[in-house]
Amino acid sequence: MLRVLIVDDEAPARNRMRDLLSDVGSVIAVDVAGEAASGREALRFVENEVVDVVLLDVQMPGMNGIEVAQHLQKLEPTPAVIFTTAYDTYAIRAFELHATDYLLKPIKAARLQEALLRAKNIPAASLESLGQLQQEPRKCLSAAERGKVHLIPVEDVVFLRAELKYVTVRTAAREYLIEESLTRLEQEFESAFVRVHRNCLVARSAIRGFERAGAESGEGPWQVVLAGIEERIPVSRRQQHVVRELSRQ
Amino acid sequence: MARSINHNAHTGALPDFRNLGILLRILLISNGIAMLAAMLQVSAVRDWPNQFTGNAVLVEPFLLLSLLVLALLNDVLHRMTYAAGIALVMLVELVLAGAMYLGARGLLWETQPDLLRLMTVVALTTGMLLIYFDLRGRALSPAIAEARLQALQARIRPHFLFNSMNAVLSLVRQEPRRAETALEDLAGLFRALMADNRELAPLAQEVELCRQYLALEQLRLGERLQVEWHVDKMPSDALIPPLALQPLLENAVYHGIEPSEMPGVVSINIYAVRDRLHAVLRNPYRADGNHHAGNKMALSNIRERLLLHFDVAAELTARVGDNVYEVRISMPYVKAPKS
């Protein structure tokens, strides 16, 4: 039995998908585990339920399908993702390039059946290739915790610091570990974050000011004061120009 | 003017001397030439403005008088052949210039300019303007203008087409009657898009088209799309360029409603004030709503079609207010001929 989650912001599109899934029921045993009208709803759903396949609309308000798919990759076991889209030349080209499965709306039952049969055997799209499909910065970061996905809204993040193998994501409330590269994060969120140190990006909106650092720090003369946390982040000698640029504003 | 397609080569035609756009162009170009002339008359650049205003005392009355006479003669001129029309315009200008010259002699000039040179300047300027209007006429001649109108015809986004088809399909099994209505709306919309859209269309028909379009979007988006119509004061006999409103609504839904999870209102307000017709469309605007980029296409397309139909007498403006995006169209109130 294939457990399927339908994700689409348009109710008629979800109904249509249900009809189609019941049509292919004679060939593949499908169980519709649930429906979600937004990306966030879908991610909440998979916190408690295990699904095998997610039928995911690309163009949704709030969090788009491609970002949802990236968060889904953190799940254990990882569901297969089949994208659905009515018309999005960019996404279609990208799907072709990365051999990601997608269905064009209006969807034909035969095509859906084919995709579901393949989803059983093919490993889920890798996180890496999905990141390349993403055109705009993600709304959230996600951390895997005990096989579940924890979403961290980007606007809550105070700083991102590279540790040995991980990146620490610090919010006012707590910290998380994510397996991503700081350089990639810097590129993706360059408008919201600024690099103050080789290993650290801080949120521009969280910067409250700069303080003189004690001589014992071994770093440059300045450290960043951030909203919501006690910890000070040293500004490395190479990034001193950031202090000047940001205090001028 | 013939309303049918004209594939014949453009034969020269005089401009309509009662059209505001034409009159403005004549004033602008003539004054431009007067400014250049003033530059040659002065020895130092700083005297240029003075020289120009000095000349204006004569140039402006001459121009206004010319325009008045030509506007009066407009019907006569258009009944003549092109060559005879040109000759008459030249004659009018030279006679006026001569009369002004004699009248102003001694009154305004310290050093008397040469009558022959003045006549030459007037004749050359007139000739240049006539050539300009002839070329412009060719560029906008019915065959070309209609071809451009065809090319400019608004196109429905494939995104909308396929999503709507999908929504209709979802209704077929459970709610066949709603599916029927939706398919009828879709057919109506495409009939309008594929129609011969070169002539002005009844406003009421365009509004009906917008209602069909919005019904389809509401089918798909449900509660998220709320529509407010303010058309009580809409004149029922007005004519507007076909498909001037629907693409704007499509923009409003695509940029204002779809990118948001929250419900939003699209409002349409159509009314006439004296001889002008106004349409105001509003939709929610979010600064961070970069979900879809670029909506300049539809706007410039409609702007160009308004220009082809009304020249400078129509206007389309778009602005961003308090979280609201607003498009305003103002055009002449053209009444449908009573049948």
B259 touches chain A (CB under 8 A): yes
Can you tell me the distance from the alpha carbon of B246 to that of B209, in angstroms, rounded to the nearest whole number?
A: 7
State residue B133's pLDDT score: 87
B169 touches chain A (CB under 8 A): yes
pLDDT band at B339 (very low <50, low <70, confident <90, very high): low
pLDDT of A86-109, one tens digit each?
987 777 887 877 777 889 999 999
Residue closest to A203 by CA, chosen among A143, A137, A148: A137
Residue closest to B15 by CA, chosen among B98, B197, B99, B139: B139
And the tokens for B177?
């009657």
Give the Cβ contact number of residue B99 at 10 Å. 12
Question: Residues of A at the B interface (Cβ-Cβ below 8 Å)?
Answer: 9-13, 15-16, 19, 38, 59, 61-62, 86-88, 104-107, 136
pLDDT band at A154 (very low <50, low <70, confident <90, very high): very high
Q: Calculate how close chain A gets to B172, using CA atoms only, in Å.
A: 9
Tell me the mean pLDDT in the region B133-151: 73
State residue B15's pLDDT score: 86
pLDDT above 80: residue B295: no
Q: What angle do CA A182, A187, A190 make, to 5 degrees?
A: 105
Q: Calculate how close chain A gets to B223, using CA atoms only, in Å.
A: 10
Q: Spell out which residues of chain A touch residue B260, defining contact as CB-CB under 8 Å.
A: 61
Can you tell me the distance from the alpha carbon of B67 to that of A210, in angstroms, rounded to the nearest whole number?
A: 70
Percent of chain A that is helix, strand, coil (3-state, to 5)? 35, 30, 35
Higher-confidence residue of A111 and B153: namely A111
Can you tell me the distance from the alpha carbon of A126 to that of A149, in angstroms, rounded to the nearest whole number?
A: 16
State residue A12's pLDDT score: 93
Provide the residue type at A26 as one letter. S
B155 touches chain A (CB under 8 A): no
pLDDT of A224-245, one tens digit each?
999 989 999 999 888 888 888 8
State residue B195's pLDDT score: 80
Percent of chain B with pLDDT over 90: 44
Q: Spell out which residues of chain B touch residue A66, defining contact as CB-CB under 8 Å.
A: none
ipTM for this model: 0.79
pLDDT above 90: residue B159: no
Tell me the mean pLDDT in the region B62-76: 90
pLDDT above 50: residue B7: no
pLDDT band at B54 (very low <50, low <70, confident <90, very high): confident
State residue A165's pLDDT score: 85
pLDDT band at B112 (very low <50, low <70, confident <90, very high): low
Percent of chain A with pLDDT over 90: 59
Cβ contact A100:A33 at 8 Å: no
pLDDT above 80: residue A132: no
pLDDT of B183-231, one tens digit each?
999 999 988 888 877 788 999 999 999 999 999 999 999 999 999 999 9
B215 touches chain A (CB under 8 A): no
Higher-confidence residue of B1 and B258: namely B258
Higher-confidence residue of B5 and A126: namely A126
Higher-confidence residue of B195 and A111: namely A111
Q: Spell out which residues of chain B touch residue A12, defining contact as CB-CB under 8 Å.
A: 166-167, 170-171, 219-220
B288 touches chain A (CB under 8 A): no
Biggest CA pair distance of chain A: 74
Chain A interface disruption, residue of B161, B163, B219, most A CBs within 10 A: B163
pLDDT above 80: residue A170: yes
Q: Calculate how close chain B gets to A199, using CA atoms only, in Å.
A: 29
B291 touches chain A (CB under 8 A): yes
A to B CB pairs, distance under 8 Å: 59
Percent of chain A with pLDDT over 70: 94
Higher-confidence residue of B76 and B106: namely B76
Long-range contacts, stretch B226-229, CB < 8 angstroms, 24+ apart: B226/B263, B226/B264, B226/B265, B226/B266, B227/B265, B227/B266, B227/B267, B227/B268, B228/B265, B228/B266, B228/B267, B228/B268, B229/B267, B229/B268
State residue A58's pLDDT score: 92
Residue closest to B248 by CA, chosen among B305, B204, B288, B176: B305
pLDDT of A179-222, one tens digit each?
888 998 999 999 999 999 999 999 999 999 898 887 666 677 88
B159, B170, B219 member nearest A16 (Cβ): B170
State residue A119's pLDDT score: 84
Chain-chain contact of A105 with B162 (C-beta, under 8 angstroms): yes
Chain-chain contact of A13 with B163 (C-beta, under 8 angstroms): yes
Provide the mean pLDDT of chain B: 85
State residue A84's pLDDT score: 94
State the pTM of this model. Answer: 0.73
State residue B1's pLDDT score: 38
pLDDT above 60: residue A44: yes
Chain-chain contact of A106 with B165 (C-beta, under 8 angstroms): yes
Q: Which residue of B has its CA nearest to A19?
A: B170
